């Protein structure tokens, strides 16, 4: 999908050359200054009760005399906030998907666009045009829409053009994350994730290194290795580096959980909905998507993605409850529950991250069901002992319409991890499960400025709309860009 600006013709909206014209109507009364043929259609529909200026309402008109576009769609967008725009544009695009329009021009009646509104528009259109088809060739076609333009004043065109390009990069990174996570576990293996990283490397000049089991053994990653040992699928420890700033600039490091399928291991999960554990590499996918977006924008920042990738399987060689493993940090861990595997692979990746002397490290993981209970599917769980870093991430999430919510890390929660046989157990009790998971990770971050994002509730949707969301790529890209110079 191509996004561009289109300076409004002298004849105004009726003169805009496009297959379909979408007129966004803000506020509770018809906009002032709307040109005659359009204003007449709108007023007529309002008086006949077929349209009201209430967020979410739409009206379709075909071949309006005096309007160049064959198709005209009106949509009420409430206060026209980026959030409201994103919601309504989803509906409008779902409609256009089935039609014959190849080009769409979008106008904000009686107002000028802001960069944030332009970004929301790109996000809405992109997310609603994505179709998963890799293993479903019968999926309906994505629609004919290929070009979307923002109708704007000449003075705003440069600013909005830049906003559209940035938004497009975010949308494409998000789509990559969705696509990777949607692929089933027999397609999206650790090897596949490594190939995706290598492909990104070729396309964008990233330095990509993939460590195998032997290399991880040399590094002493006993915790990561313990999770991987039950699977016949070879593990991959992926490191991808984007260098957009001076070598001396400390990098942002993102660590993504890459469990390509989580059966729970010997502490096996119930059968119901276990298929959704193919999404357990959503953190890894978001790291790849963020790298893609940041590299495509050529942002002036150094960014490193680290992805420990493996399956969590039961087998005769699998790690067992009660086994004690030694992490790369030297700390020992009693594996009380093999289904708490995410933290076991992340802890070694966090220790590995130290070598890059990072400015900050953010890990992203579909880590706990408890986080879904705490926050549902709207906000990602954010954990950090660092107030400034937490504030940056929260602000990035708000700006990206990909919100997070800060959770506590009081030392009292750490007690749940005590073990009689190792430096720590890998689980606390059921109480505060997302917090004790974060406290476990925190034990491996002594030398780092660190934050943890638990995306168990936000990385995918269940039910009829089952599928990956690509979150939190928008949050992460905003965060990384805010650190670029």
Give the residue with the Cβ less far from Zn ion, 280 or 334: 280
Cα(305)–Cα(281) distance, rounded to whole angstroms? 14
Task: State which of positions 353-382 bind ligand BES (CB under 6 A).
Answer: 366-370, 372
Catalytic residue among 4, 133, 144, 269: 269
User: Is 466 a catalytic site residue?
Assistant: no
Asked if 287 and 255 touch (Cβ cutoff 8 Å), the reply is: yes
Considering the rule CB under 5 A, would residue 127 count as an interface residue with Mn ion? no
Considering the rule CB under 5 A, would residue 256 count as an interface residue with Zn ion? no
From the list 187, 225, 430, the residue with the least C-alpha distance to 312 is 225
Among 258, 397, 433, 474, binds ligand BES (CB under 6 A): 433
DSSP state, residue 318: S
For 148, counting Cβ atoms within 10 Å of its Cβ (0-12 exposed, 13-18 middle, 19+ buried), the class is buried
Catalytic residue among 343, 379, 439, 443: 343
Among 25, 417, 456, 481, binds ligand BES (CB under 6 A): 456
From residue 354, alpha-carbon distances to 236, 253, 343, 360, 445 in Å are 19, 10, 17, 10, 9
> How would you classify the pairing of strands 467-468 and 460-461?
antiparallel
Considering the rule CB under 5 A, would residue 280 count as an interface residue with Zn ion? yes
Task: State which of positions 291-320 bind Mn ion (CB under 5 A).
Answer: none
User: Is 269 a catalytic site residue?
Assistant: yes
Considering the rule CB under 5 A, would residue 339 count as an interface residue with Mn ion? yes
For residues 30 to 49, the per-residue mask of contacts with ligand BES, x marking binding by CB under 6 A and - elsewhere, is --------------------
CB of 425 to ligand BES, least distance (A): 10
Considering the rule CB under 5 A, would residue 262 count as an interface residue with Mn ion? yes
Total residues belonging to the chain: 485
Q: How many other β-carbons are positioned within 10 Å of the β-carbon of residue 359?
A: 16
CB of 184 to ligand BES, least distance (A): 16
347: Cβ contacts below 8 Å, ≥ 6 apart:
223, 327, 328, 329, 333, 440, 441, 443, 444
Asked if 59 and 50 touch (Cβ cutoff 8 Å), the reply is: yes
Which of these ranges, 173-181, 203-211, 229-237, 259-267, lies near Zn ion under the rule CB under 5 A? 259-267
> CA triplet 473, 393, 251: central angle to 5 degrees?
75
Give the residue with the Cβ less far from ligand BES, 78 or 457: 457
Cα(211)–Cα(217) distance, rounded to whole angstroms? 10
DSSP state, residue 95: H
Residue 370 binds which entry of ligand BES, Zn ion, Mn ion, none, CB below 5-8 Å type-dependent: ligand BES
Give the residue with the Cβ less far from Zn ion, 31 or 342: 342
Binding positions for Zn ion, rule: CB under 5 A: 259, 262, 280, 342
Binding positions for ligand BES, rule: CB under 6 A: 262, 280, 337, 339-342, 366-370, 372, 427, 433, 456
The residues annotated as belonging to the active site are: 269, 343
């Amino acid at each position: 999908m191509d996004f561009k600006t289109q300076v409004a013709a002298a004849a105004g909206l009726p003169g805009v050359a496009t297959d379909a014209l979408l007129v966004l109507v803000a506020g509770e009364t018809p906009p002032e200054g709307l040109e005659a043929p359009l204003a007449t259609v709108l007023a007529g529909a309002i008086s006949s009760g077929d349209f009201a200026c209430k967020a979410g309402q739409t009206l379709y008109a075909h071949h309006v005399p005096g309007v160049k576009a064959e198709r005209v769609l009106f949509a009420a967008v409430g206060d026209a906030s980026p959030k409201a725009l994103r919601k309504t544009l989803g509906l409008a695009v779902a409609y256009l998907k089935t039609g014959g329009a190849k080009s769409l021009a979008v106008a904000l009646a009686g107002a000028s666009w802001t960069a944030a509104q332009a970004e929301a528009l790109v996000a809405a259109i992109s997310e609603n045009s994505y179709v998963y088809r890799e293993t479903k060739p019968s999926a309906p076609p994505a629609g004919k829409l290929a070009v979307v333009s923002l109708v704007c004043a000449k003075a705003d065109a440069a600013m909005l053009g830049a906003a559209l390009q940035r938004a497009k990069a975010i949308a494409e990174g998000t789509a990559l994350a969705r696509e990777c996570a949607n692929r089933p576990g027999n397609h999206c293996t650790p090897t596949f994730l490594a190939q995706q990283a290598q492909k990104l490397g070729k396309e964008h000049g990233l330095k990509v290194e993939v460590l195998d089991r032997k290399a991880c053994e040399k590094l002493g990653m006993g915790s990561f290795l313990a999770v991987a040992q039950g699977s016949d699928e070879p593990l991959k420890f992926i490191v991808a580096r984007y260098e957009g700033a001076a070598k001396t600039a400390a990098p942002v490091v993102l660590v993504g959980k890459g469990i390509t399928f989580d059966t729970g291991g010997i502490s096996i999960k119930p059968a119901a909905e276990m298929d959704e554990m193919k999404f357990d590499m959503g953190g890894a996918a978001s790291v790849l998507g963020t790298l893609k977006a940041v590299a495509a924008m050529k942002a002036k920042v150094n960014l490193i993605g680290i992805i420990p990738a493996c399956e969590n399987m039961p087998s005769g060689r699998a790690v067992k409850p009660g086994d004690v493993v030694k992490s790369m940090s030297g700390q020992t861990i009693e594996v009380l529950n093999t289904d708490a595997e995410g933290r076991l692979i992340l802890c070694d990746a966090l220790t590995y991250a130290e070598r890059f002397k990072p400015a900050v490290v953010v890990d992203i993981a579909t880590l706990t069901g408890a986080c879904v209970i705490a926050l549902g599917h709207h906000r990602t769980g954010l954990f950090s002992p660092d107030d400034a870093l937490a504030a940056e991430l929260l602000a990035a999430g708000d700006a990206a319409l990909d919100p997070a919510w800060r959770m506590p890390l009081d030392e009292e929660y750490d007690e749940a991890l005590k073990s009689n046989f190792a430096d720590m157990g890998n689980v606390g009790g059921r109480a505060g499960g997302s917090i004790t998971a974060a406290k476990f990770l925190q034990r491996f971050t002594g030398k780092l400025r660190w934050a943890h994002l638990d995306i168990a509730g936000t990385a995918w949707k269940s039910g009829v709309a089952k599928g990956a969301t690509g979150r939190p790529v928008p949050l992460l890209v905003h965060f990384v860009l805010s650190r670029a110079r």
